[in-house]
Amino acid sequence: MNNNVEELLRRIPLYNKYGKDFPQETVTRFQMPEFKLPALQPTRDLLCPWYEECDNITKVCQLHDSSNKKFDQWYKEQYLSKKPPGIVGNTLLSPSRKDNS
């Protein structure tokens, strides 16, 4: 198998892509434009917006949690305060017998 590959490669004519006079001629050097990277910002300046965003998210979460507490307080004052104690306190309400004496 290896011999077949070598024979195939030997049949392919070799050529120089720079032309037949390449070793004597000098190739023109490619001029690449110079580029500059922007200066790096200090780490504190880069992370400051992230810290602010995290603080804002924390505040929104705390506000959301406190709104549930406000609703629970309102529900107790407006609805549960008007119910009989047996329904609110999960105690068994049993009817009392009338004494017909």
Please report the DSSP string for 39-100 in residue order. PPPPHHHHHHHHHHHHHHHHHHHHHHHHHHHHHHHHHHHHTGGGS-HHHHTTPPP-PPPPP-
The two tokens of residue 93 are 């309400």
- Residue for token pair 């999960």: 90
pLDDT at 98: 66
When divided into structural domains, the chain yields a total of 1
For 6-21, the pLDDT digits (tens) are 888 888 777 767 677 6
In a domain, 33, yes or no: no
Q: Which domain holds residue 73?
A: 45-77
Q: What is the pLDDT of residue 4?
A: 85
pTM (2 d.p.)? 0.39
The answer to the question of residue 68 being in a domain is yes
In a domain, 22, yes or no: no
- DSSP E strands, 1-101: none
Residue 44 CA: distances (Å) to CA of 28, 37, 39, 49, 50: 47, 20, 15, 9, 10
Task: Report if residue 7 sits inside a domain.
Answer: no
Q: In the block, which residue shows the tokens 């504190």?
A: 44
The single residue listed with the structure tokens 């705390």 is 62
- The answer to whether residue 12 sits within a structural domain is no
> Is residue 72 in a domain?
yes
- At 52-98, the pLDDT tens digits run 999 999 999 999 988 888 888 888 888 888 877 666 666 666 666 66
